[in-house]
Structure 1
Amino acid sequence: MTDPISRRNFLASSALATGALAAGAVSAATPSPHPRPRHPGPNEQITLGFIGTGGMGRGLINTFKRFDDVRIAAVCDVYEPHALEAVSTSGGNPDVYDDFRRVIDREDIDAVVIATPDHWHAIPSILACQADKDVYCEKPLAWSIGEGSLVAKASEKHQRVTQMGNLIHATDNYHRIAEIVQSGCLGKITKARVWMARDGKSDFLGTPENGTPPAGCNYDMWLGPAPERPFNPNRFTFNWRFFWDYGGGFLSDFVCHLVDPVLWGMKAKAPEFIVASGGRYALDDNGETPDTLEVIYRFPTDWQLIWSLQTSAPHGFRGRSSGIEFVGTKGTLHGHYNDYVIIPNPGEEIVEPEPTLPRSPGHHREWLNKIKSRELCSCNFRYGHELTAVGHLGNIALRTQEALQWDSGAERFTNSEEANGHLFRNEYRKPWDLPKV
């Protein structure tokens, strides 16, 4: 993990990146010109670069390194211990960087895997698409609705093979729930509910004092486009998701998992009305995002979705810490990641449909296969944007305390300019800005 060769590579690449930035060699918003790469053939290796190698990033390295047709050429993280641990995890000798643009600039890399905090999803994803790299990006797709829209547009404009890291989507159980709902055997669906019930103990952050970034951390690069803030341990690894500068709390973190079978099963794209209420009521710490939240979404075809989050509820809800429910005129389906049960209404007999949806070879294998075939992935960035936006809409309704009308075609709120102000970050910290798409 602390191999001196890997450490030398990391320090050399850091010095190279610093020199390039000082000379203005690479714009923060415009990638270097790239010739369109040759796509790997069916029997050829795919060369990957990893951007963000914390816990999730190293988990993805562990997953992808098991495929015989994958070569890991580069890893990148602004925190040196994470970058060097990624080298050890890879089982090889990838080059090490602390500036993601050095990875994107490499012509030998076919595709990149992005597992940074949410506020660092959009810029690398767009630049990678513009550099003709295929992209796997962890969920949620982007920090805001506006960013997600640009990421999806960039992937389509440059014809990239993309997959958002929503791996439960590939399971047989989620396919089965979606095709049951689509079949109509539950009758007309009038309500869907997804919920999370937390014990509260594991979510308590405390109130540590501001301090100095740990050794080996390029904190300025970690902040990137987010506002300048003093370093606080709770704003750093993992807990960053509970601060509005970098994430959107449990709603942004889990919407892609829990709401996925709802949009999929209902063949829905976006709600038209959103109202929310909640706050950080149970936890007395320095976190910002809600620990208690109810969001109601009304969809155009006369049904609604309810998101429920409750902290200090170790007993769960309906006996489960999280779950999914569809209420139909003939019966109700309760489900979760790995199972489901159907409860018929009195006097109703529900016959489950035959399988209709093609199954996935696995979320990560699917992306690799599609890189070679140049076909659309099931969690491509357009779908990822639609799914992620549901979470952002709920958070915007909470933060504005308004009942919002949403025009999904225009991607604008029709009744609130304050809400429209949340579609993008008010100001991107220099020298960072969103690339033009």
Structure 2
Amino acid sequence: MTNSGRSSFINRRDFVKTAAAGSVAFSGFPSIVPSFVLGKNAPSNQINIGQIGCGRIAQTHDLPETFKNKNVRIVGVSDVDRSRQQGCKRLVEGWYAKRDGGSRSVDIKEYDDYHDMLANKDIDAVIISTPDHWHAQPAIEAALAGKHIYLQKPTSLTIEEGRQMSDAVQKAGVVFQLGSQQRSMSPWPQFKKACELVRNGRIGKIHTVKIGLPFDPAGGVSTEMPIPEGFNYDMWLGSTPYVPYTIDRVHPENPHDRGGWLRLEQFGAGMITGWGVHHIDIAHWGMDTELTGPIEVEATAEFPTTGLWNVHGKYEARARYKNGVEMLMGDYPNGVRFEGSDGWIFVSRGNVGVTASDPTSGDNKAFQASDPKILGSEIGQNEIHLYASPEQHQNWVECIVDKKETISPVEVAHRSCSACLVLHAAMKVPGKLYWDPKKEEFKDNVEANKLLSRPQRYPYGTNYVQYKKG
């Protein structure tokens, strides 16, 4: 796979101008009329979906959950690692063959370059299950191509990228869903119930939220290794600097194992975004701060001094919001604890994970309160009832059909990620930082504001959004 097939580039200024005009029929893409909008008499009323990224989360979570929806069809897969791409193709074809009793053959199209997938007018939507540094760019390009988007968290590598992506998706008018599945009823109904109880005053006036996250280990071997055959390593690095290939920097041969990129700041911020997006998203839901962010933050963190992996280890962080609530993060039980004037509620995943490699608390104490009666409290008809989603992927599909907003729309998704990135900046810059959630910049702190964006390695990155001419 090479970049020779890309005929044109646009810079950020041109992209913003185009997006602002509300045009999704961008010069390289035909106008898309998904089959389902034509009604029951259409030649096909199914939603055709392409899978971008074919690793652990795609094969063990995103695809299996999407398969459960009867009116969708996975029609293509794309990955820069051809072995993973072919494994994903076999997975999808095998599933359909089993479902149909082997009555018909299925041929899933492979794309070495996802831009070719986005140019396919027969594809209505894409699932993006790539590493963190490859989230914002394909999401922007999918929006410009008129594709509906399911994006794994976190939304972006930087706050600037996240803002570009949110603006592009909103202006394109496509249906966006973030993989923040703790909001949906399956498999964890306790998160919605906890937030409803908090929002309806069952623990009095909320004043503190405590969040516990797992930590990443130090380690990793940095010795350069030959790049595997069939792996487009240059494209995998994307907008980040070129560094020698080593398996601990990328991903293991087993596509179901966690990749080393999760533990490298070149490709992400570590657990503060990896799991922090999940828990801060729930905190925002319960605090009613989904479309804003903290106004004051400070943090300290331990960073490895040996080995390849360099994301934060143990840390302590504090964030204060305009409504007066303080959010504390550190060595607490894995989950979210809301504390109010009349009691507290703790909610977590318990011992239920999404993938086999997910860290869990190892017990069933996923929903607790200072008084057990709080948990059984019914939400009255005239009280606050939060958005009810049966399952994250199902909600996305239903919203595509019904042309409605999902439970995790793009701006809410961006704000949960940006809060994490603000705290990550506080780990790097000593002292108290003051954040302006409207301008999305730190007040009077040049060093902290330098962390809002990163240089991008041309031709990759959101500043060089790429498209193909038809």
TM-score range, shorter chain: 0.7 to 0.9
Say if 1:254 and 1:150 are closer, same or farther in 2 by CA, change over 3 A.
Answer: same
Give the total of aligned pairs. 402
Quick one: distance in 2 between partners of 1:122 and 1:350? 38
RMSD: 2.3
Offset of residue 130 of structure 1: 0.7
Quick one: distance in 2 between partners of 1:151 and 1:265? 25
Residue aligning to 2:344: 332
Say if 1:359 and 1:350 are closer, same or farther in 2 by CA, change over 3 A.
Answer: closer
Q: Which runs of 5+ in 2 are unaligned?
A: 16-25, 94-105, 252-258, 351-365, 466-470
The answer to whether the aligner puts 1:98 opposite 2:112 as a matched pair is: yes
Quick one: distance in 2 between partners of 1:28 and 1:77? 23
Kept after mapping to 2: 8 A contact 1:134/1:371: yes
Which of 355, 377, 382 is the matching residue for 1:352? Answer: 377
Residue aligning to 2:409: 380
1:261-272 matched pairs, under 5 angstroms: 261-268=282-289, 269-272=292-295
1:19-418 matched pairs, under 5 angstroms: 19-21=4-6, 25-27=7-9, 32-39=27-34, 40-41=36-37, 44-59=45-60, 60-91=62-93, 92-171=106-185, 172-197=189-214, 203-237=217-251, 238-268=259-289, 269-280=292-303, 284-309=306-331, 317=332, 320=333, 322-337=334-349, 339-344=366-371, 352-354=377-379, 356-418=385-447
Kept after mapping to 2: 8 A contact 1:139/1:253: yes
Kept after mapping to 1: 8 A contact 2:270/2:311: yes
Quick one: distance in 1 between partners of 2:8 and 2:54? 23
Kept after mapping to 2: 8 A contact 1:28/1:431: no
TM superposition score normalised by structure 2: 0.81
Local SS of the residue matching 1:421:
helix
Kept after mapping to 1: 8 A contact 2:208/2:326: yes
Kept after mapping to 1: 8 A contact 2:175/2:400: yes
Local SS of the residue matching 2:462:
coil
AA at the equivalent of 1:70: V
The worse-fitting range, judged by mean Cα deviation, of 61-70 and 71-80 is 61-70
AA at the equivalent of 1:55: R
Offset of residue 61 of structure 1: 1.9
Quick one: distance in 2 between partners of 1:55 and 1:243? 18
Offset of residue 197 of structure 1: 4.5
Offset of residue 401 of structure 1: 2.3
The worse-fitting range, judged by mean Cα deviation, of 358-367 and 205-214 is 205-214
Local SS of the residue matching 1:259:
helix
Q: Percent sequence identity over matched residues?
A: 25
Quick one: distance in 1 between partners of 2:452 and 2:430? 16
AA at the equivalent of 1:307: M
Kept after mapping to 2: 8 A contact 1:185/1:353: no
Q: Which runs of 5+ in 1 are unaligned?
A: 1-13, 310-316
Quick one: distance in 2 between partners of 1:128 and 1:304? 37
Say if 1:50 and 1:197 are closer, same or farther in 2 by CA, change over 3 A.
Answer: closer
Quick one: distance in 1 between partners of 2:141 and 2:287? 33
Quick one: distance in 1 between partners of 2:399 and 2:272? 30
Residue-by-residue CA offset, 1:193-214 (whole Å, 9 max, x unaligned): 010255x7xx353334122222
Quick one: distance in 1 between partners of 2:137 and 2:8? 14
